């Protein structure tokens, strides 16, 4: 399949590399050139402009937020230059409202659109172990499923683009809430003279056996937040997406309000380039431990 790829950040570069490994023809575009050249060395074609990446059977995008996608032109201008019947698969976490807007914009131009935000960190992207939550027309998802299978371990199909992004927003909200509660528990233990490493070992082996507490808990325990697999500012973005989604549905998320306060504080301390797990360090800093 002839595939374009727009946005080669921490995750996108690994996904594009796996598409190349699977034998697809991949044309890549990114604002900075270093990741483009790294993929060209692996067989990709460099696009001079984003529209050159939209001339095949499908294009993947993985840009940081709604506004960056608008700035690149994926909400309108670029669609006018896309190949006929192109399917756009957006792997990024964006707002549910914007996902709905994108689906309509593509459909009005005879183009396919699938919102397929992913769960996983860069090492999971490299190992093709991502979980894709794919929202869109069933026939488009079915067409792209063989491609999804070479970049992820599981695809969760949903019948609308905005539902996929709401699913991902809710998932990231839960992860952020667990990072906060883990940091609070560790700070409580340190303040009381109890070894949090023992606590982490016991709970990760019995009560909290999932990857979030085991892996992120280790980061919070060891206080190692760099290099960031998922930047703290992206965590703040996703918490704000959860808050906005709740507001749109006429409800509130009290924990999200606390998370926003702590993420804002972390940014004010200059932590914006740390991993989003550094939210677990906020309670410790406030406790003086």
Q: Report residue 8's pLDDT band, with 50, 70 and 90 as the boundaries.
A: very high
pLDDT tens for 218-230 read 999 999 999 999 9
Which domains, and CATH codes, for the chain?
A: 2-159 (3.40.50.720), 166-287 (1.10.1040.10)
For the whole model, what pTM was predicted?
0.95
How far, in whole angstroms, is CA 227 from its chain's centroid?
Answer: 17
- What integer is the mean pLDDT of 168-186? 98
> According to the model, what pLDDT value does residue 225 have?
98
100, 168, 191, 286: the active-site residue: 168
Handedness of CA 55, 17, 87, 120 (dihedral sign): negative
pLDDT above 90 covers a percentage of the chain that reads 100
Question: What phi, psi does 76 have (nearest 5°)?
Answer: -175, -75
> According to the model, what pLDDT value does residue 154 have?
98
Q: Report residue 146's pLDDT band, with 50, 70 and 90 as the boundaries.
A: very high
User: Does 168 qualify as catalytic in the annotation?
Assistant: yes
> According to the model, what pLDDT value does residue 86 have?
98
Cα–Cα distance, 150 to 18 (Å, whole number): 7
pLDDT above 70 covers a percentage of the chain that reads 100
**pLDDT averaged over the chain?**
97
Note whether 257 and 243 are within 8 A (CB): yes
> According to the model, what pLDDT value does residue 237 have?
97
pLDDT tens for 77-122 read 999 999 999 999 999 999 999 999 999 999 999 999 999 999 999 9
pLDDT tens for 234-266 read 999 999 999 999 999 999 999 999 999 999 999
Burial of 33 (0-12, 13-18, 19+ CB in 10 A): exposed
pLDDT tens for 60-82 read 999 999 999 999 999 999 999 99
> According to the model, what pLDDT value does residue 229 have?
94
Helix axes 196-205, 161-191, angle to 10 degrees: 140
């Amino acid at each position: 399949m002839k595939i374009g790829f727009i946005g080669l950040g921490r995750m996108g570069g690994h996904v594009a590399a796996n598409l190349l490994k699977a034998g697809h023809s991949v044309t890549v575009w990114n604002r900075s050139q270093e990741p483009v050249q790294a993929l060209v060395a692996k067989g990709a074609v460099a696009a001079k402009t984003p529209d050159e990446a939209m001339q095949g059977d499908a294009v993947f995008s993985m840009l940081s937020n709604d506004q960056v996608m608008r700035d690149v032109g994926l909400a309108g201008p670029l669609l006018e230059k896309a190949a006929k019947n192109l399917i756009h698969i957006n792997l990024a976490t964006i707002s549910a409202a914007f996902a709905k807007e994108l689906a309509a914009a593509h459909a009005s131009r005879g183009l396919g659109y699938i919102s397929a935000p992913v769960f996983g960190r860069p090492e999971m992207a490299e190992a093709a172990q991502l979980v894709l939550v794919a929202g869109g027309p069933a026939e488009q998802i079915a067409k792209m499923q063989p491609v999804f299978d070479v970049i992820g371990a599981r695809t969760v199909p949903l019948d609308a683009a905005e539902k996929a992004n709401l699913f991902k927003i809710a998932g990231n909200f839960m992860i952020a809430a667990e990072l906060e509660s883990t940091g609070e528990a560790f700070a409580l233990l340190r303040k009381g003279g109890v070894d949090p490493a023992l606590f982490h070992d016991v709970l990760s082996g019995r009560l909290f056996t999932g990857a979030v507490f085991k892996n992120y808990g280790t980061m919070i325990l060891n206080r190692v937040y760099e290099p960031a697999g998922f930047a703290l500012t992206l965590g703040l973005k996703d918490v704000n997406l959860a808050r906005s989604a709740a507001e749109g549905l006429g409800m509130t998320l009290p924990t999200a309000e606390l998370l926003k306060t702590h993420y804002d504080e972390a940014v004010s301390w200059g932590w914006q380039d740390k991993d989003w797990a550094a939210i677990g360090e906020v309670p410790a800093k406030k406790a003086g431990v």
